[in-house]
Structure 1
């Protein structure tokens, strides 16, 4: 009986210990952690043939890496230089990248494969940046080395989509008709670097590479050229290029008016609207910015415009004191500009008789109409005084105010190397210096073809953000 009692006690005690220890033990059982995030790019294990091979005669290069490779960007990133007539075929499978050469290789020539950002792993997309492979069909590896930079001339900013090219033919048509001899990609700050170039003299260009042709195919392409050929050796001085789009010119001053407003008129049916001459003006909220130009915009070009029928009057509808103004039509006949020296805080009326204008379809206003608006007050503007003490006035600099990538104002410097204006639109601006060589207050593109080659005018950014406050004397010294 005592034995049974003792066994029962021992059993109960064991169960009690299991109940206490069991949950604690279970709480310590956790799933294994994934470990730190992989930030290491793929590593090259081998290349067949090996890098810097001489007397190369093969048609295939095999690269093996230490992890799986995402091959979707390799073909677009790969630059093969000297540039072949037939592009190579690139395959990526698991840890292997294979490049099959389809073009006939030239004798005694050094070739370089620049993979850019194309080699990356599958899991995290870690990039093996600027991976390069070199081989020679001759007994030596060419060591010509040359670097430089490209900026967009009218902004002073780099464009990483540009490529620099070297041609061994010097006629102007070569950049249009022929693929270049060597090619180098521009980085995020506009720098390019040619390596493994055969020493010699070359024509240097940079361009937006449309469709991978490496040619200058359209005046709508960004394009840059060096004034004279460059001689590439082991230590060639760098070259700065300025890219432009031919035909792209900055306007002296872009409009600052916001949304347009139709003149007051009774509501009409769609049929009436189709029969009526549609006109809008740049006076949002019936308010006009005196730094803007007053514009009448029409939905279709005017065939008839009789400015003598228009009445431009002051608040009391008396036009006796308003004399020095005039109208001008643009080339499309869709915009009529009213030029006038506008005072601030003043009311005006523009009276439009029904017969003042007519488009090519015979549409007129259905009835006489009028547009009433008021100019902004002095306190809506800020006063600015901006000095650039180290400015070289011999380069004919002018100051550009840029907002949202658009040039809002272009103002000249005075002899004290400053720009001052009593009324200026508040807002945040980027300041740029335009070296206005011909003095026309606008940026002018370059000219490459023909006898009279000309580089584009140059622009530099001197301050990325400048906040002009309303009703405030905004005074700054800005270093170059």
Structure 2
């Protein structure tokens, strides 16, 4: 009986299975799709303050502690880098967080009749999605009124005319030039991605305005190699906001060290002097000098023993000149090249020896051929709205490296030969007309020169004339 019961139970189970499969096939395609449960839309809202003690906009504020309550769990984001406290205290307050609570404890005593602002932009973020609070301000005053003056402006890097959001803007009530090198400012502001800045809740008065790349939090101008900007004159701030201020930041370039090339480790097995030339595939650029670069400085150098000739007949060439640079690493040969000509540079064994007393083991000959004019592009560039009183100079660069500069004396520039390629184009407004960009000089109150990028690249092609027309914008004002 038990076996018969089990057989009948199996038949019933089989019939049920067939019935379920039949329903799945004929009940519609929607039943065949398995959709995982949804977690809901992504939280994109930053944390909100639901309570604060003492409340914002408190007058006669004297508390040393502030407690913020948020609508969700929060964490701190690089608080001592992002938090802005104005006026700037000697020591930043201590910031702690626990679950939905953030606590601020002041370490400095507060000044009388002063408006204090804590800007928590990018300081507070939620735990799950990392949404950061924007424009979260806490404002109190130790007196019976709030300072409400404002100052806005924009800062760009003079050499690139681009913004730098890592700069800090500073206001000093001490109008002496030495203040920015010796004492911290009263107020600071951050720069947005467009270079704009805004001070709010300022005390009326006269200030000096600076911009600075501050790595260590000292807010001091300590080195000419720091990125730095200064307003030409003091700014008076009152109930009516002054016009937005434009700043142009710069950094003085370090002088090249005399021993810029580091000497490699001594290879005792190597007996032959080493060097490299600037030839490309045994081709010499008509626009460049010929160079030989030595990893070790030359101890002895006899240019009169180096012989230059042309063609297979070794016809002597006498119009060239050799020079050795101050580091004694680079020999340069200057000459008016002839296109498509084969040159031979004969080096005797004793033409030079390096600091390791190594020379050539046997005479050597460097053979190369100059390029032809058809290998180069040409250009006739028309500049509209060109103001030559600003001494404009066209700068052509590749990968951030300056290749050539062309002073613009008229609105048409002709270039007879130029290496093919894509070039970034900029206009230098060469105030002192010395042919190069000059940074500012804070001690002499000289602002940096401008370099303005053009909104297009120049593409030179071999044996092809380039004839662009470029509309220049007016030179920027200070």
Which TM-score tier does this pair reach, normalised by the shorter chain? 0.7 to 0.9
1:448 matches 2:438: no
* Aligned partners of 2:119 and 2:138 also within 8 Å: yes
Which one of the candidate residues 342, 351, 357 is aligned to 2:346? 351
**Separation in structure 2 between the aligned mates of residue 28 and residue 357 of structure 1, nearest angstrom:** 82
Change (3 A) 1:69 1:305: same
| Counterpart in the other structure of 1:189 | 194
Q: Counterpart of 1:210 in 2: which secondary structure?
A: coil
Which one of the candidate residues 242, 253, 273 is aligned to 2:248? 242
Q: Could you give the per-residue CA deviations for residues 80-103 of structure 1, whole angstroms, max 9, x where no partner exists? A: 121111111112222222222111
| Counterpart in the other structure of 2:261 | none
* Aligned partners of 1:160 and 1:190 also within 8 Å: yes
**Separation in structure 2 between the aligned mates of residue 444 and residue 248 of structure 1, nearest angstrom:** 13
Change (3 A) 1:339 1:107: same
**Separation in structure 1 between the aligned mates of residue 344 and residue 150 of structure 2, nearest angstrom:** 68
| Counterpart in the other structure of 1:115 | 120
1:276 matches 2:281: no
TM-score normalised per structure 2: 0.87
Aligned length: 450
**Separation in structure 2 between the aligned mates of residue 222 and residue 47 of structure 1, nearest angstrom:** 39
Q: Counterpart of 1:240 in 2: which secondary structure?
A: strand
**Separation in structure 1 between the aligned mates of residue 46 and residue 228 of structure 2, nearest angstrom:** 34
* Aligned partners of 1:203 and 1:228 also within 8 Å: yes
**Separation in structure 2 between the aligned mates of residue 66 and residue 464 of structure 1, nearest angstrom:** 49
Query: Which sits farther off after the overlay, 463-472 or 182-191?
Result: 463-472
Change (3 A) 1:29 1:453: closer
Cα deviation for residue 283 of structure 1 reads 1.0
**Separation in structure 1 between the aligned mates of residue 309 and residue 34 of structure 2, nearest angstrom:** 88
* Aligned partners of 2:172 and 2:186 also within 8 Å: yes
**Separation in structure 2 between the aligned mates of residue 43 and residue 343 of structure 1, nearest angstrom:** 74
**Separation in structure 1 between the aligned mates of residue 34 and residue 187 of structure 2, nearest angstrom:** 61
Correspondence 1:242-321 to 2 at 5 A: 242-247=248-253, 271-273=268-270, 275-316=271-312, 318-320=314-316
Which one of the candidate residues 341, 358, 371 is aligned to 1:363? 358
Q: Could you give the per-residue CA deviations for residues 428-457 of structure 1, whole angstroms, max 9, x where no partner exists? A: 2221110111222111111112xx331111
Change (3 A) 1:30 1:305: closer
Cα deviation for residue 324 of structure 1 reads 3.0
Change (3 A) 1:122 1:427: farther
Structure 2 gap segments, 5+ residues each: 1-7, 257-265, 473-478
Q: Could you give the per-residue CA deviations for residues 52-100 of structure 1, whole angstroms, max 9, x where no partner exists? A: 2221111122222222223132332111121111111112222222222
| Counterpart in the other structure of 1:460 | 452
Change (3 A) 1:50 1:461: same
Change (3 A) 1:468 1:36: farther
* Aligned partners of 1:110 and 1:136 also within 8 Å: yes
**Separation in structure 2 between the aligned mates of residue 49 and residue 467 of structure 1, nearest angstrom:** 63
Aligned Cα RMSD in Å?
A: 2.7
Query: Which sits farther off after the overlay, 240-249 or 295-304?
Result: 240-249
Correspondence 1:344-423 to 2 at 5 A: 344-415=339-410, 417-423=411-417
| Counterpart in the other structure of 1:477 | 469
Which one of the candidate residues 211, 217, 222 is aligned to 1:217? 222
Change (3 A) 1:85 1:470: same
* Aligned partners of 1:463 and 1:478 also within 8 Å: no
**Separation in structure 1 between the aligned mates of residue 97 and residue 138 of structure 2, nearest angstrom:** 16
Change (3 A) 1:335 1:130: farther
Change (3 A) 1:409 1:241: same
1:424 matches 2:430: no
**Separation in structure 2 between the aligned mates of residue 468 and residue 364 of structure 1, nearest angstrom:** 42
* Aligned partners of 1:249 and 1:443 also within 8 Å: no
* Aligned partners of 1:249 and 1:444 also within 8 Å: no
Cα deviation for residue 17 of structure 1 reads 6.3
Q: Counterpart of 2:471 in 1: which secondary structure?
A: coil
* Aligned partners of 2:308 and 2:318 also within 8 Å: no
| Counterpart in the other structure of 2:46 | 41
Which one of the candidate residues 431, 437, 448 is aligned to 1:437? 431
**Separation in structure 1 between the aligned mates of residue 172 and residue 107 of structure 2, nearest angstrom:** 22
1:206 matches 2:206: no
Query: Which sits farther off after the overlay, 218-227 or 87-96?
Result: 87-96
**Separation in structure 2 between the aligned mates of residue 178 and residue 306 of structure 1, nearest angstrom:** 57
1:147 matches 2:139: no
* Aligned partners of 1:343 and 1:375 also within 8 Å: yes
Change (3 A) 1:169 1:304: same
TM-score normalised per structure 1: 0.87
Structure 1 gap segments, 5+ residues each: 1-8, 251-268
| Counterpart in the other structure of 2:260 | none
* Aligned partners of 2:424 and 2:458 also within 8 Å: yes
Change (3 A) 1:145 1:374: same
* Aligned partners of 1:42 and 1:65 also within 8 Å: yes
**Separation in structure 2 between the aligned mates of residue 361 and residue 17 of structure 1, nearest angstrom:** 95
Query: Which sits farther off after the overlay, 289-298 or 311-320?
Result: 311-320
**Separation in structure 2 between the aligned mates of residue 29 and residue 475 of structure 1, nearest angstrom:** 63
